[in-house]
Structure 1
Amino acid sequence: MELIKYEIQKGDTLESIAEREGISVKDLVNFHNDNCGLTNTIIGSSIPIHLRYLFFEAGVSQKIEISNISFQKKARYRCEQNNVIVIDGKPSFSSQTKTQYLLSVKKENSDNIFAITLEDYVNSIQPEEMEPAFNLIKEIELVRNNVVFTQNEKGEIKSIINLSELSDKWLNFINNKSKEIPFYNEMKARAPETIEDFIVNGNKEFSNEKELGAVLGKNLFYHILLKANLKNDDDFRISQQSQLFPNIKLNTDVSKILVSNEENITTYRLVGTLDKNSVNENEIIKLYQEMYQPIIKYSFTEFNFIYRITYTIQNETGFLINATVSIKEQVKNNYEIITKFELRRIEL
């Protein structure tokens, strides 16, 4: 039995911790009281004010046991993502992330169960001064991207089967490994409120299937995988927050186009069109004038969001063979955030 000594965070409740661990509040409290000592006993339905730590058993969950799942098909992928910020035609920031994933699939009735393991993660950043922050992000990605899940009919993550395991790994990271990361310690000393928010948001993400599923769905590897496994060819809509402007939501209508269909290979293209009627242009202009015009000097031109994905699947297995992505959010000629992504299947 592995005992976890969990440091209670702001916003935690017995209910939120029990939900994250996939157990009842009663079992959580009983186990804690059996292992905490007399002065730290929980009496009632709330966490005592003086209590700093909660004890529970790692990996105990009432959800589906992963060990009972026999995955039938596997594939390995390498991905490369390049992000560039261009200001007045000149690159001001760039990052490159190379990843390797192992994908396992099991057919369960009419649904697929996917298991994804992040096997390698390498990034490079310009300017180099930002690299320590991205090293912290890397550690979170390594926790997050070892996940078992199902998807719904909209091409979104439906349920995360190993949520309890991921929650344990997150808690272990916060309570132990984070203290070995210089950037984390520096931020904790210089801006403790930022680290506190970071922990609160992480607790929320790793305790809730919907929250974690939404975060994973923004990862382009998952995004392509989920959309490629949709059972229909209907158009769909994606909604996301603008990367340029705070509190601006972008709605993009996506059409699925058949490019080619050969003997055992089919290629599709996803083309997105921004619903400009759902965007408050006056608010965007105001934000541009406040945030960017003092730096760029040029006046607002035209706002747009461009979304293009092309992917090829093997008809017999349904596995992706390759994919390319081009996404751009821009104030034309003035400020652009560009993402290029490539995926290719490699040998197991």
Structure 2
Amino acid sequence: MVFKKYRIEQGDTLEAISKKQNIDVKELVDFHNSHNTITQSIIGDYLPIHLEYIYLPLESPIKEENKYAEDPKEFGRKVRYRCEQVNTSKINGNLAHFLQQNFQYVVKNNGKKNEFFVGLEDHHFDFNPTYLNPSFSFISKTEFIKNQVYFQISEENGKLSEVNNKKEISENWEEFKKNEFYNDDFIIQLRKTNEHAVRELLNMGDRQFSVDYELTEEEYRRNLFYFI
């Protein structure tokens, strides 16, 4: 099932969100926890103080006809994996920068139809010097949009052959632009000094997440499992 991220607002409660989103509280909590990590899960009857978003089912007109939507019978095989990437650079023997990233993905498979789903569930990063953290925070948000992908594998060569949910990914990008893009700390600061760069970021996102983007499959084929 494709999901959307609901930003928790001041004064929100589980009951208020469930009424607003027309979903039972238990279903809301179960869905959120099944698409999240332990540290971001909801335990009990209250919203954790540190929680910024709740994951909710994305109701869309194509839901009924989308045969790639998550279903226990369709995606009966599931595994999670975590990976770590560390980058450092030195100048004259002194540490110039240090970056550590930790990722958690869920991979689901329908062996009968060679259909897969890969979803980024958690991304933690630690960058030194810290003044670059806002830019990585922005990049992380776009990675969550991009890495929620249903696709098919070619029986001939075992490679990704087609992305099946381009429309949903594009819609998630449009929702991000509408609700989060201009409220992001990195974008707020960038607009003060380089409005042109902000427009370029928007154009890049529009191009990359477009349903008609010709290089979509090639980019996923090259980068989807880059961190393994």
CA deviation vs aligned residue, 1:162-218 (integer Å, no higher than 9, x gap): 111110000011111112211112223321211111111111111146433344345
Q: CA deviation at 1:120?
A: 1.0
State whether structure 2 residue 63 is matched by structure 1 residue 98: no
In 2: Cα distance, 1:68 partner to 1:205 partner: 24
Could you say what secondary structure the match of 1:222 adopts? coil
Report if the CA contact (8 A) 1:163-1:209 is conserved. no
Cα deviation, residue 156, structure 1: 4.3
Q: 1:83 to 1:140 in 2, by over 3 A?
A: same
Flag the structure with higher strand content. 1
Instruction: Classify 1:73/1:84 alpha carbon distance in 2 versus 1 (closer, same or farther; 3 Å).
Output: same
Secondary structure at the aligned position of 2:215 is classed as helix
Distance 1:198 1:214, change over 3 A: farther
- Matches of 1:119 and 1:143, distance apart in 2: 11
Is 2:86 aligned against 1:82?
yes
Q: Percent identity of the aligned residues?
A: 25
Q: CA RMSD in A?
A: 2.8
What is the number of equivalent residue pairs in this alignment? Answer: 166
Correspondence for 1:186:
189
The residue number in structure 2 matching 1:213 is 217
What CA distance in whole angstroms lies between the structure 2 residues aligned with 1:62 and 1:171? 22
**What is the alpha-carbon distance in structure 2 between the residues aligned to residue 194 and residue 121 of structure 1?**
25
Q: Name the aligned partner's letter for residue 201 of structure 2.
A: F
Q: TM-score, normalised by structure 2?
A: 0.63
1:136, 1:183 within 8 Å by CA — same for their partners in 2? yes
Q: Which has the larger radius of gyration?
A: 1
One-letter amino acid matched to 2:87: N
Residue in 2 aligned with 1:311?
none
User: Quick check: 1:161 aligned with 2:150?
Assistant: no
CA-CA distance at 1:73 after TM superposition: 0.8
Do the aligned residues in 2 keep the contact of 1:204 with 1:211 (CA within 8 Å)?
A: no
Contact residue 207 and residue 213 of structure 2 kept, 8 A: no
Q: What is the distance in 2 between the residues matched to 1:213 and 1:97?
A: 25
5 Å matches for 1:197-236? 197-207=200-210, 208=212, 210-219=214-223, 222-223=225-226
SS in 2 for 1:66: coil
1:122 to 115, 121, 124: 124
Change (3 A) 1:138 1:68: closer
Question: Which position in structure 1 is the counterpart of 2:140?
Answer: 138
Deviation at 1:64, TM superposition (A): 4.3
**TM-score calculated relative to the size of structure 1:** 0.43
Q: In the TM superposition, what is the alpha-carbon distance from 1:58 to its structure 2 partner?
A: 5.4
**Residue deviations 1:78-129, cap 9 Å, x none?**
11111223445544222111111111001245xx211012111110101111
- Cα–Cα, structure 1 residues 84 and 180, in superposed 2: closer, same or farther, change >3 Å? same
**Deviates further, 81-90 or 200-209:** 81-90
Secondary structure class of the residue paired with 2:75: coil
Q: Distance in 2 between matches of 1:195 and 1:213?
A: 26
For 1:32-43, what aligned pairs fall within 5 Å after superposition?
none
- Point out where structure 2 has 5 or more consecutive residues left out of the alignment: 1-58
Secondary structure at 1:67 match in 2: coil
